[in-house]
Structure 1
Amino acid sequence: MAEKTDWEMMAANLLKAELKRKGVTYAQLVDKLAAIGVDEKEVNVRNKLSRGKFTAAYLLQCLSAIETSSLHIGLN
């Protein structure tokens, strides 16, 4: 299995932090994604965030679903 790159880890941590900040569980994220037309299962969400393997489009869908309007990325 390929190792998670720093960029993949950063993307996964960014999304996990935003979910935590908003108090959204993976199950709730699945419901919110469904509301915007994205069919996803909780186990798939958990795996994607665990592996850090997801597209930029998926990241944007998740952020949109949880109504995130701005992010502080903190790149140096």
Structure 2
Amino acid sequence: MLLEQLIEKAEQEPEYDWDSYYRWRFSTLAGREVTGSTFWVCKKCLTVNMTFLPARYGKCRLCELIHLPHEMK
């Protein structure tokens, strides 16, 4: 029964539109329209980072390890 409920919940639309929220929040903080951004997790220290697109690479804000775009997924 619990598994069925989890499957039904996964098939539903998300309760919140986090992409729109973060686009609005960072646009407000930057004072301009921020359209391209992506969130990724550092594989070394598991820190959540953000990169504005188009970026050639991302740099972890905690351990400063450089990640290439194909690694930022």
Normalising by structure 2, report the TM-score: 0.30
Between structures 1 and 2, the one with greater helix share: 1
Which structure has more relative contact order (CA 8 Å, sep 6+)? It is 1
Between structures 1 and 2, the one with greater strand share: 2
Normalising by structure 1, report the TM-score: 0.29
Q: Which has the higher Rg, Structure 1 or Structure 2?
A: 2
